[in-house]
Amino acid sequence: MKDHLIIKKLYFINFTLLSDPELINILHWRNEESIRSKMTNSDIISPEDHLKYCHSLKHNKNTMMFRVDCNDEPCGVITLKKINRLKREAEVGTYYFKSGIVASKCNSLALALYQALGIDTLYSYIKKTNTQAILFNLLKCKCKFIREDDQYLYSETKTFYDPKIYEGIELKLLLGEESYE
């Protein structure tokens, strides 16, 4: 997939709906140095540990992971942790195997996912060494940085939903067995 392509199809697929081979493909991307080095856990994860964790998501009401597919091709992952349905908030983390314009657009279009899950406020933390993510969160996502420590910058952003940004895009949210209203 080339970054200059127009997004015609965008799917957010819950990890609980993916097959083991699909989950292992995600692991290969996640374990690449360019992605792994920017993550909180920068260790290489074994296939066994990865599958065990992914299978545990079926019973975890506070964490959800989604593969992002753009134009029928996997391009990234969105993780929601510490989901609090009463406060309508969650901690979000993303990474994309494809970068540039496609990643930026997919991240913006993820607002439909957050709305479907009833999430109004997103929190994140970014390694201070990850200047690309800091700039992306500050400039593109309009995040407000709320604090920092020796290793991380912490941010908050309010989600909003504008159906006009999805015009001409086939959008599917494959959330899994749970119903989120």
pLDDT digits (tens, 9 = 90+) for 14-64: 999 999 999 999 999 999 998 888 888 889 999 999 999 999 999 999 999
Residue 134 DSSP SS3: helix
The one-character DSSP state at 1 is -
Q: Which residues pair with 79 in a beta bridge?
A: 65, 93
Amino acid at 137: N
The answer to whether the beta carbons of residues 74 and 21 sit under 8 Å apart is: no
On whether the CB atoms of residues 152 and 127 are closer than 8 A, the answer is yes
What gap in Å lies between CA 75 and CA 69, rounded to an integer?
Answer: 6
Could you count the other beta carbons within 10 Å of the beta carbon of residue 112?
20
Position 87 scores a pLDDT of 96
SS3 29: helix
What structural domains and CATH numbers belong to the chain? Answer: 9-119+167-174 (3.40.630.30)
Q: Which two tokens stand for residue 107?
A: 């991240």
d(CA 84, CA 119): 8
pTM of the complete model: 0.86
Pairing of strands 73-84, 89-96: antiparallel
Q: Which residues of the chain have pLDDT under 70?
A: 1-5, 99-104, 161, 177-181
In this structure, are residues 61 and 83 in contact, taking their beta carbons and an 8 Å threshold? Answer: yes
pLDDT at 150: 93
Task: Look up residue 143 and give its two tokens.
Answer: 């995040």
Q: What is the per-residue pLDDT for 101?
A: 59
Which residues, 6 or more positions from 134, have their beta carbon under 8 angstroms from its beta carbon? 126, 128, 153
